[in-house]
């Protein structure tokens, strides 16, 4: 699964997080920056 990619809509975003949960064992995530423009949001995190 590509980490940096564009995902649109609930189904694509849901599939991305499902795959990430299945394939990764995260230690922790600390959101650092949120950028929004209209109905789009980008989140930069530190794991």
Residues in contact with 42: Cβ distance below 8 Å, sequence separation at least 6, in sequence order: 34, 35, 36
So what's the pLDDT on residue 8?
84
So what's the pLDDT on residue 26?
63
Query: Taking the domains of the chain in order of start, what are their residue ranges?
Result: 9-46
What pTM does this model have?
0.43
So what's the pLDDT on residue 2?
56
The answer to whether the beta carbons of residues 25 and 47 sit under 8 Å apart is: no
From 6, 1, 3, 11, select the one nearest 29 (Cα to Cα). 3
Q: What is the pLDDT of residues 1-47, one digit of tens each?
A: 456 678 888 888 888 888 888 877 767 778 999 999 999 999 998 87
So what's the pLDDT on residue 10?
87
From 9, 3, 1, select the one nearest 40 (Cα to Cα). 9
So what's the pLDDT on residue 33?
95
- Distance between CA atoms of residues 26 and 34, nearest Å: 20
């Amino acid at each position: 699964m590509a980490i940096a990619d564009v995902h649109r809509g609930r189904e694509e975003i849901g599939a991305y997080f499902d795959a990430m949960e299945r394939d990764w064992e995260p230690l922790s995530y600390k959101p650092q920056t949120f950028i929004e423009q209209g109905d789009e949001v980008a989140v930069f995190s530190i794991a």
